[in-house]
Structure formats: C-alpha cells, structure tokens
Amino acid sequence: MDMYVKRTLTIILYFIALGFSVLLVVMGHRMGEYPGLFMQFGGIAGRSVRILHQLTQPADHPVDIYHPEGEYLKGLVLYVD
C-alpha cells in the first residue's frame, strides 16, 4: 500500500466530523486490505470505524473465477464515531 494512501486515510479519519459516513471506492483488486487499514488508522486518529455496507460491481460485469483481478470496482460505506 502506497505511503500517500495510508496518510490520506489517516487524515480523512482524523478530520471527519463525528457521526458521519465515508464512501470509499477503489478500482482494483486490493480492497481486502482496506478494512484492516481503517481499523489501524482509526486507532491512530482516535476514531472508531464500522463498515455499514460493502459495494461490488453490478451483475452486468461478471467476474471470471480464474481471473479474480477482473473484480475491479469495490467500495465501502464506513461510519466514523
């Protein structure tokens, strides 16, 4: 994970107002890393983070089981306390 992405996530969690939601959309196959990062950086920023909803690409973009990287559009809706 890029150092600038990590820094951006920490800044977002630090400055967001309490009780607000964050929508994070990632194009790529590395979304699995993000929940752990939000837990880690939420702790650094002194915030609690909950996943409200996980987003995936629509049904008209099927994923080949032999090429999981084809699942390119993913997102999280997060609630920040």
| Mean pLDDT confidence for 8-31 | 72
* Helix 3-15 vs helix 34-45: crossing angle, to nearest 10: 50
- Give the model's pLDDT for residue 27: 64
Report the CATH architecture of 3-80.
Answer: 3-Layer(aba) Sandwich (3.40)
Domains in the chain: boundaries = 3-80
Task: Kindly tell me if the per-residue pLDDT of 15 is higher than 80.
Answer: no
| Mean pLDDT confidence for 61-72 | 76
- What are the start-end ranges of the H helices in the chain? 3-15, 34-45
Count of residues in the chain: 81
Task: Kindly tell me if the per-residue pLDDT of 16 is higher than 80.
Answer: no
- Give the model's pLDDT for residue 1: 57
For the chain, the average pLDDT equals 76
* Closest to 80 in 3D by CA, of 40, 33, 38, 44: 38
Task: Kindly tell me if the per-residue pLDDT of 11 is higher than 80.
Answer: no
